[in-house]
Structure 1
Amino acid sequence: MQNLSDAAVERRKKSWGFMVLSILGILIIIAFIISMNTGYIRLSPMDVIRTLFRMGTEKQSLILFDFRLPRIVISVLVGAGLAVSGCIMQGISRNALADPGILGINAGAGLVVMLFISFYPTTAAAPVFLLPVLALVGAGLTAALIYSLAYKKHQGLSPTRLLLTGIAVAAGISAAMIVLTLRLSPDKYQFVATWMAGSIWGTNWKFVLALLPWIVILLPYVFYKARVLNVLNLGEQTATGLGAAIEKERLLLLAAAVGLAGSCVAVSGGIGFVGLIGPHLGRRLIGPKHQMLLPASALAGALLVLVADTLGRWILQPSEIPTGIVVAVIGAPYFLYLLAKSKT
């Protein structure tokens, strides 16, 4: 009887999880449609439909296919990538406050990207596809530094030490970036300042193609490792007792998280808090099991960035508010709330 009861509970949890994922997917589709209609030059829903079927004017096609759709697609990909990256970091560190922005991973990626765009034009084809690689190098070096400083041989990876180390490293990198901006020309300074605030600046299909392979390769790999994340969440001693190769799995998952965060930062700038809010929202809706939590985090992050980017384009037309600022307005209070609740 107990086994039957447990099976029924498990089935109900799965049904609820699939329903939540479906609702998040529907909300993303609704936000996608609204975003296509939002901008300084307004396109009505009928205009969008006609243009999608190649029956719109040349101007409408230019606005929708060359400006809005690439930006919308990048917003969805960046939101999903950053949220899953945050979910991985929270899983391997057992720290509910872990996030690629808060821990300095985004800052490390941003520093290398900023150095690169300071010397090369961002419109050239080769640099566009090189940016995710450079961001990965910066994010990887930063992650290695934070991990080495936070890890103690006989104590493992302390959640509190990881958070404090990440914040300190992020502050140092941010200071270095500010010093570097003083040497830029006015035009590049304006671009870098907007980029650091978290702007979806890659608004053409080249940037989508540069980001897409990283998302397509790394997300399925992370979903495949969902059971490993469940085991790592139990603690090092329990995970070792269950036969998990802790260090190997932790490093592989950390590399995936760094790859997702770095590639996303390369085309979106310093958008923070997505890796914090997405997993927490997914955990509240679905629970801690990563088989459902990872896709829920991806959908929640995609929805958050898409809505934030749409609001940023709509609130102060014809000017724009960087997406990172809109996300920060939501994320900063939520981070303080989580920090107040944290017992570590």
Structure 2
Amino acid sequence: MTAPSNVMEIRDLARTFGGGRTIFGTKKPELTAVRGVSLDLRMGETLGIVGESGCGKSTLARMLVGLDRPTRGAIRLDGEDLSASGTKALARRVQYVFQDPVSSLNPRQTIRAILEAPMRHLLGLGGKERLARLEKLIEAVNLRPEFLERYPHEFSGGQAQRIGIARALAAEPDVVVLDEPVSALDVSVQAQVLNLLDRLKQERGLTYVFISHDLAVVESVATRVAVMYFGEIVEEAPARQLFRAPLHPYTDLLIRSAPVPNRRRAAAKGDSGELPDPYDPPPGCPFAPRCPRVEADCRAAMPPLEAKDRGKGHRAACLHPLPLSAPTSQPHEPG
């Protein structure tokens, strides 16, 4: 069996805010939110991206769909570099589902107008074609046709998120970036939306980038997981392998810290829980001040993200990874 091809290749992607100098020559503060991320997105997979708040997940997501321009690096789709081509070039192939479903919809437009916009501006479809596709689209996300004439404020959070998913699908993308798509929803509604996303992926041959801080959700939907810390990928592996036997101490900390029913949250010895100062990043591994396995060489240079002797496709940016026999948390059920 041949390996799935890469639909998207991310190379050395970085995003810096601020910087430069004032008119008086004073240097302005500079913050690098994403620090040289390189990833391959394989056709038909669900790539989960996890990490604490402030690690750069959402900034990365915005660059992948063209809502933000990278400071450096490339985003290639089928070998074509679209990172410098503007929003429209990426939007034709990559669409976005936002975290807050209601506020992501224009309150002054009907659902019909919202869903027709991608068809008109990205696909150039005429009125009859749009009408035919609208009927199929609204049915695909389990909503009634009369909803097309209503406004966003008339819907619940779960219904609004279904509309957001329909809007993303209206452009017929190859890749859908889902940025915390169920975090604002009730648990019962989360399950419905996740089941819908899985069905649409199978029916339409979609590829997902699923960004979340909820490890239980990511564990249940992702085929592969990349862990971000301080703007960098520190570990990448098939989902089952990563949750069963993480290599990076930060990944292990995330898994142990996840709330699971009937289990006490593990306390990490010596972990302050504080991220480094983004305006004054430390040399070496940014997790070193929090790491229980830190050595002097960890503070000298950032370890490369490279394959370890743990199975195919398992990479970690760690000079002293966890041994295979290290105890990890038991896999947990979504809840």
Fold similarity call, TM over 0.5? no
Q: TM class, shorter-chain normalised?
A: under 0.3
**TM-score with structure 2 setting the length:** 0.25
* Structure ranking higher in strand proportion: 2
Query: TM-score, normalising length from structure 1?
Result: 0.25
Greater relative contact order: 1 or 2 (C-alpha under 8 angstroms, separation 6 or more)?
1
